[in-house]
Amino acid sequence: MTSDANHRSFTVDTQELGERLDRLFSLRYSDLSRSRFKDLIKAGNAAVDGVTNMEPNYRVQPGETIEITIPEPEPALPRAESIPLDIIYEDDALIVINKPAGLVVHPAAGNWNGTLVNALIAHCGDSLSGIGGVKRPGIVHRLDKETSGVMVVAKTDRAHRGLAEQFAAHGADGKLDRVYVALVWGVLQRRAGVIDAALERSSSNRQKMAVVRTGGRHAVTHYRETDRLPRPPESPLVSLVECRLETGRTHQIRVHLAHIGHPVLGDRTYGSGFAASASKLSPEAAQALTALGRQALHATMLGFEHPVTGEKMRFESPVPDDFQTLLTACIHP
């Protein structure tokens, strides 16, 4: 008997006389179900003595050489969906969009449809070249589902490689610059600083990231407090903070700000301990925070070097209306 990941063959024993072909495969190879072998046989992937056999109920005879080829699994390709996009800029190589809160970037478990990738496939159509051999948009960075703001996506292999290199360098080469704005709880002791704290998946909740002292992935966030709200003579309860990323880890800004004791307003994952703080806000601000229904975090600026022309590019995105309503309510209690 010979076997590898894709092709398996053996000679039928006397004890296997009269066994169904699909059942015999399932008895010999327990890693696949009988129904899966049945489908493979019907698809023409099985042979008896070198002759293709597409009958799952074929009764085998001793001495026959039985073979089956198992094709490599193909990744599910997202389908095109007509979803409106707020396009800031587009050319043959890339597209820059203003992502709304609530839009998932890439299809994954629980979100196979209705994503930015589905929308881009529909919008770009034949203008997409074969990124990795498949016509699809090249995602080089992501924003959390409930984070809004500016994003760039590649439309060609060349653009994908060039942008990926810039994001991998995280601005160390002077090409990439990313700015986020956030409303956070409390007043920062230092109005500007650097949070250098490694991150990894939380051992207690795999859906969350956590700061770790040893191991983890290097993560650095530069922050600057730009306003304290409400303004004097009222006592401030909230700070408006600008963040620049030196690295780009999952949930990085949200985890880092929570780590220094100032989680983002509306962040139910990393700021649940501050939920009671909403009672200290003015009625208008509390209502605006409830209406926001998400973390008050927005990607407001993205700068990079065009991967084809080398031109310096800079795109800005104003905060969306729900964020602005909350900001205004916090300024004027």
Residue ranges of domains in the chain, CATH in brackets? 2-69 (3.10.290.10), 75-169 (3.30.2350.10), 173-333 (3.30.2350.10)
Distance CA 271, CA 262 (A): 8
Look at residue 138 in the predicted model and tell me its pLDDT: 86
Residue 150: beta bridge partners? 98
* Nearest partner of 183 among 98, 314, 283, 277, judged by Cα: 277
Token digits for 280?
């200290």
**Residue 144 known to be catalytic:** yes
| 201-241 residue pLDDT tens | 988 887 899 999 989 999 999 999 999 999 888 899 999 99
pLDDT recorded at residue 180? 98
Q: What is the mean pLDDT of residues 49-72?
A: 91
- % of the chain surpassing 70 pLDDT: 94
Report the pLDDT averaged over residues 266-283.
Answer: 90
Highest mean pLDDT among 10-14, 28-32, 103-107, 324-328: 324-328
Residues 36 and 70: beta-carbon distance below 8 Å: no
Phi, psi dihedrals of residue 240, rounded to the nearest 5°: -95, 125
Predicted confidence (pLDDT) at residue 15 exceeds the cutoff of 70: yes
> What pLDDT sits at residue 131?
65
For range 124-143, the mean pLDDT: 78
10 Cβ contact list (under 8 Å, min separation 6): 1, 2, 3, 28, 65, 66
Q: Which segments of 96-156 does DSSP mark as H helices, in order? A: 116-124
- pTM, 2 dp: 0.76
Neighbours of 190 (CB within 10 A): 10
CA 99/CA 95 separation, integer angstroms: 12
Query: Among 15-19, 134-138, 282-286, where is mean pLDDT lowest?
Result: 134-138
Neighbours of 202 (CB within 10 A): 14
Find the catalytic residue in 22, 144, 267, 322: 144
Give the lowest-confidence range in 22-36, 153-167, 174-188: 22-36
